[in-house]
Amino acid sequence: MIKNVLIGLLGILFYGSALLVWPICALLWRKTCHHARILRWAFFFALVCQLIVIGFFVFSHGILEHQYYWCLVSIMVNVVLTPVMVVAAVYDYAKQTPAA
C-alpha cells in the first residue's frame, strides 16, 4: 500500500510539477501584495503544452512505436517547463518586492 502511494506521488511530481508551481505560489502569496502575472501566463503555456501531448497520445496511432512513449514525452515537457515556472515565480516575486 505504501509503495502504491509513493508511486502515485512520484507520478504527480513527474507529470505535473510544472502545473503545481502557480497554485502553490498563489496560495503562499494570497495575503501579500504579490501577484503572479508572468507565472500565470507560464502556467497556461505549460497547460497547453501538456494538453497537446495528451491530444497526440489520444488521437495519434503509429507516430511513435508504442503509445506509452507519449508518457515519456510528457515527462520531458514537464522537466523542461518546471525550471521555467520556477524562474517565472522568482521573477514575479522579485519584481513586486519593494527595494529596501
pLDDT digits over 33-84, tens only? 777 788 889 999 999 998 998 888 888 878 877 777 888 888 889 889 999 9
pLDDT of residue 100 exceeding 60, the answer is no
CA 57 to chain centre: 18
Residue 99: pLDDT band with limits 50, 70, 90: low
Number of separate domains in the chain: 1
Domain assignment of residue 74, given as a range = 2-96
Give the list of residues 6+ apart from residue 15 with CB closer than 8 angstroms, or none: 71, 74, 75, 78
Q: Which helix (H) or strand (E) holds 3?
A: helix 2-28
The yes-or-no verdict on residue 15 having pLDDT over 70 is yes
Question: Given a cut of 80, is residue 98 above it in pLDDT?
Answer: no
For residues 69 and 56, the answer to whether their CB atoms sit within 8 Å is no
Inform me whether the pLDDT recorded for 27 exceeds 80.
yes
- Is residue 22 pLDDT above 70, yes or no? yes
Largest CA distance in the chain: 58
